[in-house]
Copies of this chain bind each other. A is one copy, B any other.
């Protein structure tokens, strides 16, 4: 998208929070010229000894080389940890680049990943297995690891506790705004901090980009407890957002805990079920939902944020599938983009999901306004009122199936001409 300027999403936050330093986390960004000139495209994060990690990755059957690398490192760490109780999932460096996804690059891609990890390990002074990697941008193009050679040593020397917004900017591709969030929580009376950043203009971008998110905390939590927290937290947040139903080869969400809060008296938490983790888990859930919703707000061409809730389903899985069928329907998304309370398209999307549904029990709401009841237009439906509601920037769609007690909520954006412009008028 070099040379092409896309306006900032109207759904971008009006202000950004101030992210405090996280003890044990330092970082720096650099212009490595991977694809773009005159903008930062590499982020190196250094983490103190003792940092543990967890990750959730794309379900694509064609994942990027960096995704393979991170998965293997985490799996190996867990195997070691199980074999030798004293061992921990150790993370010392994170290298993220934009401009090239290093996906579908075959053996060359695997070599690039290995070499990048070696360069980072040397710059940071750690083992290669303690280096985590993520790449986003063009795919099918070999990524030259030499680009990292020239910048990572300098980044390591310059690394500092902020500014976080600068880090969030370095990992952007077609994002129109950087995405950050911060929270605090108490673990046994000691306050800990969580900072997070994300990128993604949907799951997607020209030449396919990605959803990447990195979350850091000074809380002393074991890798296995982190993994349990993250796997649970991702379901109602990052796994509940869709821009266009296209899943990237590179989706990566990682959570790092430096444990530095032990110096302020925090007790190390080993088990995910530890009651002392409750407040932390709640704060993490809220932070991930915030970041995930920011990704939707930067969905390519988005003008409206859409929350889709399904109630009265026979199971949570069924509710999720019906909600995603609505959220991924081009006809629903174009109708809402056109500010049209077109419940017929909602019925269509419910019907095509293949899940239990009874046409004659369906209730449909736009915001507080019930437009359909028991399979027919609501007799009290007032077109002017609902049309006025559809002009809002945030639209809530709710479907009551009337079959059971399960429900779910997912988030998406509208489908506009700007999406076609960004993705169709572009040449690779």
Binding site for B on A (CB under 8 A): 58-63, 101, 103-108, 138-141, 204, 207-208, 244-249, 328-331, 334-335, 337-345, 347-360, 362, 372, 374-377, 414-417, 419-421, 423-428
Contacts and interface: CB of A to CB of B under 8 A. Distances in A.
Per assembly, the copies of the chain total: 2
Interface centre among A58, A60, A358, A372 (most CB of B within 10 A): A60
B331 A62 contact: no
A63 B334 CA distance: 22
Q: Interface residues of A: mostly helix, strand, loop or mixed?
A: loop
A72 to B, nearest CB: 15
Interface centre among A62, A106, A139, A247 (most CB of B within 10 A): A62
Contact of A344 (B139, B330, B349, B374): B139
Contacts of A63: 351, 359
23 contacts: A59-B352, A59-B354, A61-B355, A61-B357, A61-B359, A63-B351, A106-B374, A106-B375, A108-B376, A138-B344, A139-B344, A207-B342, A207-B344, A208-B344, A245-B330, A246-B329, A249-B348, A249-B351, A337-B420, A338-B425, A340-B427, A415-B420, A417-B417
Given A208-B331, A420-B334, A360 B140 contact: no
A355 B59 CA distance: 11
Given A249-B351, A348-B247, A376 B415 contact: no
A204 B351 CA distance: 14
Interface centre among A60, A244, A344 (most CB of B within 10 A): A344
A318 to B, nearest CB: 11
Interface centre among A63, A105, A375 (most CB of B within 10 A): A375
A348 B416 contact: no
A415 B334 CA distance: 13
Given A246-B330, A247-B352, A420-B415, A103 B347 contact: yes
A208 B60 contact: no
Contacts of A248: 348
Contacts of A246: 329-331, 345, 348-349, 352
Contact of A424 (B104, B107, B247, B338): B338
A426 B340 contact: yes
A353 B338 CA distance: 30
